[in-house]
Amino acid sequence: MTVNYGVIGTGMMGCEHIRNIVQIETASVVAIADPSERSLGWGQKACQGRFTPDEYTDYRDLLARDDIDAVVVASPNFTHIDVMRDVFGTSKHVLLEKPMCTTMADSIELRTMAEKHTGMVWIGLEYRYMSPIMSFLNELEDNVVGDIKMFFIREHRFPFLKKVDNWNRFNRNSGGTLVEKCCHFFDMMNLVVKSKPVRIFASGAQDVNHLDERYDGEVPDILDNAFVIVDYENGARACLDLCMFAEGGRNEQELVATGSGGKLEVTIPEGVMTKAGRDYGKFTTQKIAMDPRVNEVGLHHGASYLEHLDFIHCIEENLDPRVTVEDGLLSVAMGIAAQESIARGAPVQLEELL
Ligand SMILES: NC(=O)c1ccc[n+]([C@@H]2O[C@H](COP(=O)([O-])OP(=O)(O)OC[C@H]3O[C@@H](n4cnc5c(N)ncnc54)[C@H](O)[C@@H]3O)[C@@H](O)[C@H]2O)c1
């Protein structure tokens, strides 16, 4: 069986998806849709001559085709809800890029529509498919640190890249930095802690990046650094340290889980995992190799490739999605709660939003 894909939005991430699908024998890209002719050109180029998809400037013409099994939605965050309303008018499988939506109202509407959809709905929270993170999660499954009490994620990276029409410069388009970027990390926290997030306290600001930029006279309003603390129902706590003017550092991400029995750390992109029990100074380090199945490393350390392998597997075997609408909704809610906490200068209870 070949899975025929249509890709909606062929900017940076849509092309990343296409380059990954090109490397999968049992998949094909038969159509692409984007209002920008320039982006359609990028999409065609990303097919590297293996496919010559039909082009549409209106994604609804792509959705009208019966020969498309699955669509990838990689248009800007604020467009997801409208595109998904139309996707839900079909029975196609869908991989919707993160963040699922930019507001709670849209996320809840999307969840209601998804419950009735006959195709599979998968949210593109693909950091869980990075090889070092997969190894980290597998080790935790083996209970190497005992009961997890604390989970820490540091992302120190480069500023937001330029996007088509600069949509990511404003909270109203992206949902805000802690939704747009950090939904990945909130999802990771939920995977690691395996409990319900109940309360979020955050401090953050836009201190350095984009302050000298103007779009129709308007200064971007997106956060570039924050600390976020999440309290879980089971008493565990998680913390995110985000800095987007730290591209010179050694690693972009560092994850640390600590429990009653020890500590597990991993770094990305170095892929060094450090394991320790409670004996003073006794730790082991291990270099995590790229998963051998990865044919396309791409922009996310092979994660998009493995995400598509799993997406296709779930379609072929008629399985439930591995990354669900509920995962997507919770990760958005946590980002919104963190931003609300910064605005209020006080903790926010998740139940206020959910
Ligand atoms: N999973 C990840 O790690 C990851 C990484 C980057 C981006 N993303 C997500 O991918 C999505 C796209 O981001 P990007 O970086 O590719 O942005 P981009 O600006 O590079 O590309 C977006 C494309 O969508 C097109 N577009 C705008 N409105 C559209 C519509 N109504 N229908 C179809 N196409 C439309 C634009 O013309 C542009 O070509 C966003 O949701 C973003 O958050 C995810």
Over range 204-214, report the average pLDDT: 98
pLDDT of residue 1: 85
The CATH H-level (homologous superfamily) assignment of domain 3-125+309-323 is NAD(P)-binding Rossmann-like Domain (3.40.50.720)
* Nearest atom within ligand 1 for CA of residue 125: 1
Mutation to probe ligand 1, out of 34, 83, 86 (largest number of atoms < 8 A from CB): 34
Q: In this prediction, what percent of the chain has a pLDDT beyond 70?
A: 100
Q: Point out the ligand 1 atom lying closest to the alpha carbon of residue 80.
A: 41
Residue type (1 letter), 313: H
- Tokens 């998740």, residue located: 350
Q: Which atom of ligand 1 is nearest to the CA of 180?
A: 43
Q: Whose alpha carbon is nearest atom 8 of ligand 1? A: 13
Tens-digit pLDDT profile for residues 212-270: 999 999 999 999 999 999 999 999 999 999 999 999 999 999 999 999 999 999 999 99
Per-residue pLDDT at 25: 96
- Nearest CA residue ID for atom 29, ligand 1: 75
Whether residue 14 contacts residue 43, with contact meaning beta carbons closer than 8 Å, is answered with: yes
pLDDT tens column, 286-342: 999 999 999 999 989 999 999 999 999 999 999 999 999 999 999 999 999 999 999
Give the pLDDT confidence score for residue 91 in this predicted structure: 98
Sorted by where each begins, the domain ranges of the chain are 3-125+309-323, 128-291+329-352
Estimate to the nearest angstrom the gap between the alpha carbon of 179 and the chain centroid. Answer: 10
Cβ of 185 less than 6 Å from ligand 1: no
- Closest residue by Cα to residue 192 from 270, 262, 136, 129: 136
Distance of alpha carbon 161 from alpha carbon 151, whole angstroms: 28
* Atom of ligand 1 at shortest range from CA of 127: 3
Cβ–ligand 1 distance for 102 under 6 Å, the answer no
* Phi/psi-derived region of residue 118, left when phi > 0, alpha when psi is between -120 and 50, beta in every other case: alpha
Query: Measured from the CB, is residue 74 less than 6 Å from ligand 1?
Result: yes
Q: What is the mean pLDDT of the chain?
A: 97
Residue 166 gets the label, from left (phi > 0), alpha (psi -120 to 50) or beta, of left
User: In the CATH scheme, what is the code of domain 128-291+329-352?
Assistant: 3.30.360.10
- Residue 114 has a pLDDT of 98
Closest of 121, 82, 140, 118 to residue 329, by C-alpha? 121
Measuring from atom 31 of ligand 1, which residue has the nearest CA? 79
| Nearest residue (CA) to ligand 1, atom 11 | 74
Q: Which two tokens stand for residue 271?
A: 């892929």
- Asked if pLDDT for residue 181 goes beyond 90, the answer is yes
**What percent of the chain is modeled with pLDDT above 90?**
99
Q: Is 33 in the pocket of ligand 1 (CB under 6 A)?
A: yes
**Cβ pair 269, 252 in contact under 8 A:** yes
Torsion over CA of 55, 58, 59 and 60, rounded to 10 degrees? -120
Distance 17 CA to ligand 1 centre (A): 11
Q: Kindly give the number of the ligand 1 atom that is closest to the alpha carbon of 75.
A: 24
pLDDT at 33: 99
- Nearest-atom number in ligand 1 for the CA of 161 is 15
Query: What whole-number distance in Å separates Cα of residue 242 and Cα of residue 252?
Result: 10
Instruction: State the residue for tokens 């079909």.
Output: 90
Regarding the beta carbon of 59 and ligand 1, being less than 6 Å apart is answered yes
Report strand pairing: 253-259 vs 272-276: unpaired
Distance 82 CA to ligand 1 centre (A): 14
pTM higher than 0.95? yes
* Predicted confidence (pLDDT) per residue in 72-93, tens digit: 999 999 999 999 999 999 999 9
Query: Where would I find the H helices in the chain?
Result: 12-22, 37-46, 59-63, 80-87, 104-116, 131-141, 171-174, 177-180, 183-193, 303-316, 325-344
In this structure, which residue's CA is closest to atom 7 in ligand 1?
A: 13
Q: Each residue of 121-161: pLDDT tens digit?
A: 999 999 999 999 999 999 999 999 999 999 999 999 999 99
Residue listed under structure tokens 């170095």: 270
Distances (CA, A) of 329 to 43, 125, 307, 332: 29, 11, 19, 5
Query: Which of 40, 45, 75 has the most ligand 1 atoms within 8 A of CB, as the residue to mutate?
Result: 75
Distance CA 99, CA 175 (A): 8
Q: How far is the centre of ligand 1, averaged over its atoms, from the C-alpha of 214 (Å)?
A: 21
